[in-house]
Structure 1
Amino acid sequence: MNRTAGMIALTALTLAPAHGQETLAPAHGQDSRAEAQRVLVVVAHPDDELFMAPAIAALARQGAQVTIIHATSGDAGPGVSSLTPGEELGRVRAMEAFCSVNALGATSSVQFDLGDGTLGLDAHHPGSPARQLVSRLGGHLAQVSLVLTWGPDGGYGHADHRMVSALATQVVQAMPDAERPRLLYVGIPAGGRPPVPEMAEWAVTDPALLTEAIAYTPADLAAAQAAAQCHVTQFDEATRAGMMPLFGATMWQGKVHFRPAF
């Protein structure tokens, strides 16, 4: 995700949620079917899961088997740490991702380690990171009923985010109808973008297109808060404390918004 600043904490304190967080079933599963659901979350970097964190926690709480795939190790992004980009940073961020996945109650964490910033490089060439991602994703989609990923905007346009969205879509659209999971793109409703300079260029989506939503409870938001605390290399202490309350008061307001890919 975009490296937001500590001022997020101060902004969050000035924003009261628009309404209370009600305990509602996610829009995709309004009965006990969620207990048998297998869900795949496909993102580019450790910490990208935070953009839909309370939805992941809600699905896991309701019994879904949630696997989070990080396509890269995030080895190029030192964030607020003093670590040099490279293998050591990748190892640390992988541990942060594992911490976050556990906090959200997901079933498993998968690291593809394809190289931060590489997914768009020579994407059409044999053996490219993009080709590898397509090949490896196929092995994780058997019996999955729901896939969550970035929208085509990639949040704020990050090339890896955009490529993860495009490549996940490529794999899912090629599947037979009887086996194809629902594919949802996470989005910020227009008018709901958090009012901090660091997110001024983040993409928004017409709310009329965001026809799917996964509601969350205060406990799910608390799990998201715990997940944010895991990403020490990427966000300072104030940002880790303020990020989830800010998102909850602005772009989420009790439910994480998605639009169907098809």
Structure 2
Amino acid sequence: MRILFAAAALIALAAPAQAQEEGNLRVMAVFAHPDDEVVVAPLLARLAREGAEVHILYATSGDRGTGFSGLEPGDTLAALREGEARCAARELGIADPVFLRLGDAMLGVRAHDADSPGERFITALRGAIAEQRPDLVLTWGPDGGYGHADHRMVSALTSEVVQAMGEGRPRLLYPGIRAGTLPDRPEMASWAVTAPELLPIAEPYEASDREAAHRAVGCHQSQFDAETRAGLVPLFDAAIWQGAVHLRPAFAGAPAQAALAGN
């Protein structure tokens, strides 16, 4: 399988003119829960190492994801997971994360209501983008990784916000797992895969970035047992990433007429 490392692929992460004129590349990763960043962790570490301003925005604090914490769902668990997310951010070399605290498993509830968690997420994300002015936004693809409802909602709502923007709209990229690379592990059987030709962007990382990702995973002790914390990044590195995080643009750049004509 050919992995595309060509300059044409890497242009997706190149700074637009605005970033070139005003300073370093600005990156915003938008996820549902602390630990979701694992899917792009070595890329975040690489971008930070290269001088980018990298921020993570979490829609929830994972207050229902009890995992291995021994805690009941609620505020104490949320505070623990926020601390783990801050630990992971430090290990990746990125900014302190932002938590919207909208409630785990709540993003799809009454989604059409004006005061729903989903609508509050949209309002908060618009404000964060206006304040931080990212050049690049990373979020779950429509599959949500393994179908988690909050992941799917974050993907859909983030896409909704970005697609409505005019001038200053950031690039929006979805990470994905190339078909044929998913490990044969029962716990990963529900993870979605994407046809390799639909993931044209392969962003390489170095050993130091992989090690930063490994340390970041180690912060999430409430979610992963010791064996998983030790083995997750090596598994992803060997089977899924294979030296690069694979992504695709959220929006096609070709005119509709050309696309419909098959050109």
TM above 0.5: yes
Q: What is the rounded CA distance, in whole Å, between the counterparts of 1:36 and 1:237 in structure 2? A: 37
Q: What is the rounded CA distance, in whole Å, between the counterparts of 1:97 and 1:124 in structure 2? A: 30
Residues 1:85 and 2:56 aligned together: no
SS in 2 for 1:41: strand
Gaps of 5+ in 2: 252-263
Count of matched residue pairs: 239
CA RMSD for the aligned pairs? 2.0
SS in 2 for 1:141: helix
Please report how far the alpha carbon of residue 30 of structure 1 lies from its aligned counterpart in structure 2 after TM superposition.
Answer: 5.9
Superposed CA deviations along residues 133-182 of structure 1, whole A, max 9, x for unmatched, are 00000112132110000000000100000000000000000100x21110
Superposed CA deviations along residues 100-121 of structure 1, whole A, max 9, x for unmatched, are 1111111231001000000011
| Aligned with 2:142 (options 149, 152, 172) | 152
Greater alpha carbon shift after TM alignment, 39-48 vs 142-151: 142-151
Q: What is the rounded CA distance, in whole Å, between the counterparts of 2:40 and 2:139 in structure 1? A: 9
Show the counterpart of 1:190: 179
Please report how far the alpha carbon of residue 194 of structure 1 lies from its aligned counterpart in structure 2 after TM superposition.
Answer: 2.0
| Aligned with 1:250 (options 239, 252, 255) | 239
Residues 1:114 and 2:102 aligned together: yes
Label 1:29 to 1:165 Cα distance change in 2 as closer, same or farther (>3 A).
Answer: closer
Residues 1:60 and 2:48 aligned together: yes
Show the counterpart of 2:261: none
Residues 1:229 and 2:215 aligned together: no
Residues 1:173 and 2:157 aligned together: no
| Aligned with 1:123 (options 102, 107, 111) | 111
Please report how far the alpha carbon of residue 195 of structure 1 lies from its aligned counterpart in structure 2 after TM superposition.
Answer: 2.0
TM-score, length of structure 2 as denominator length: 0.87
Q: Letter of the aligned partner of 2:80 in structure 1?
A: V
Q: What is the rounded CA distance, in whole Å, between the counterparts of 1:102 and 1:77 in structure 2? A: 22
SS in 2 for 1:139: helix
Show the counterpart of 1:15: none
SS in 2 for 1:108: coil
SS in 2 for 1:184: strand
Q: What is the rounded CA distance, in whole Å, between the counterparts of 1:116 and 1:102 in structure 2? A: 24
Q: What is the rounded CA distance, in whole Å, between the counterparts of 2:129 and 2:69 in structure 1? A: 35
Q: What is the rounded CA distance, in whole Å, between the counterparts of 1:102 and 1:132 in structure 2? A: 28
Q: What is the rounded CA distance, in whole Å, between the counterparts of 1:69 and 1:140 in structure 2? A: 9
Q: What is the rounded CA distance, in whole Å, between the counterparts of 2:103 and 2:88 in structure 1? A: 20
The structure whose Rg is larger is 2
Please report how far the alpha carbon of residue 213 of structure 1 lies from its aligned counterpart in structure 2 after TM superposition.
Answer: 2.3
Please report how far the alpha carbon of residue 211 of structure 1 lies from its aligned counterpart in structure 2 after TM superposition.
Answer: 1.3
SS in 1 for 2:54: strand
Q: Is the 8 A contact 1:66 1:108 kept in 2?
A: no
Show the counterpart of 1:14: none
Q: Is the 8 A contact 2:13 2:136 kept in 1?
A: no
Residues 1:45 and 2:33 aligned together: yes
SS in 2 for 1:204: coil
Q: Is the 8 A contact 1:71 1:133 kept in 2?
A: yes
TM-score, length of structure 1 as denominator length: 0.87
Q: Letter of the aligned partner of 1:181 in structure 2?
A: P
Q: Is the 8 A contact 2:40 2:245 kept in 1?
A: yes
